């Protein structure tokens, strides 16, 4: 009797372990596709905005980034039409809530930073504005990297963990120490620098989106 109970307990544990592994596999496939779509959309939007600001010199094109979440959402729905949704599970719920939290914090901070910068630009001198301006890009990169890394740990994906660390923390440090601006200032004269600086942010966002979103999405899809 006791031996049968032990076998039953072992069998139950084996079934639960297999279910968790299968759930992680299903969620990884869905997350991989979502990351890939988000990465490609972000890269495309960054390049488009970069070219528009480079050609026209009008920074108003940066407002197009407000539409990015809706573009990603719409394209994701279109590409996933007819596909069976990932089965509901604890792992899927945790991953979903993680990204929802990132979306709330990142979008809220982006809106606040832009409204604050617009207000300060209209009410303060250029000297004061240059000291108080908020640059949301670096903080959003850090939040995104944390989110990707946490997702990697949940799904037990080393590629996702390292891409999150490199893309998020590396991008944050790169932007915080103004590496791009320093390199441009040492390479170009003032006139060329003022012109080309409109293009560089788009290139940087595209590169970091590839490292933090597109590449890990590709790796997760290949693992299936």
- Inter-residue contact 76 to 39 (CB < 8 Å): no
pLDDT tens-digit map of 89-101 = 677 788 888 888 9
Domain borders along the chain are 27-79+88-222
Distance CA(51)–CA(125), nearest Å, equals 29
Token duo for residue 111:
């809106």
List the one residue out of 46, 75, 101, 9 whose CA is nearest residue 211.
46
This prediction has a pTM of 0.75
**DSSP 3-state assignment of 84?**
coil
Q: How far apart are CA 171 and CA 168, in angstroms?
A: 5
User: How many helices (H) does the chain have, and how many strands (E)?
Assistant: 11, 0
| pLDDT per residue as tens digits for the range 180-215 | 878 877 887 777 777 777 787 788 888 888 887 888
CB contact at 8 A, 212 and 168: yes
């Amino acid at each position: 009797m006791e031996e049968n109970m032990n076998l039953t307990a072992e069998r139950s544990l084996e079934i639960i372990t297999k279910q968790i592994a299968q759930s992680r596999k299903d969620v990884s496939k869905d997350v991989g596709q979502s990351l890939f779509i988000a990465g490609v959309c972000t890269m495309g939007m960054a390049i488009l905005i970069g070219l528009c600001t480079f050609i026209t010199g009008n920074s108003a094109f940066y407002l197009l980034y407000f539409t990015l979440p809706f573009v990603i959402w719409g394209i994701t729905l279109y590409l996933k039409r007819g596909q069976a949704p990932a089965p509901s599970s604890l792992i899927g719920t945790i991953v979903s809530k993680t990204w929802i939290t990132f979306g709330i914090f990142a979008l809220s901070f982006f809106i606040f930073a832009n409204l604050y910068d617009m207000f300060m630009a209209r009410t303060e001198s250029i000297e004061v504005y240059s000291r108080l301006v908020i640059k949301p890009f670096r903080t959003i990169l850090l939040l995104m990297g944390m989110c990707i890394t946490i997702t990697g740990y949940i799904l037990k994906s080393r590629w996702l963990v390292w891409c999150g660390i490199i893309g998020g923390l590396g991008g944050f440090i790169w932007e915080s120490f103004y590496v791009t601006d320093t390199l441009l200032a040492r390479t170009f004269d003032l006139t060329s620098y003022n012109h080309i600086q409109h293009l560089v942010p788009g290139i940087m966002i595209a590169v970091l989106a590839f490292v933090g979103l597109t590449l890990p999405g590709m790796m997760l899809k290949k693992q299936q």
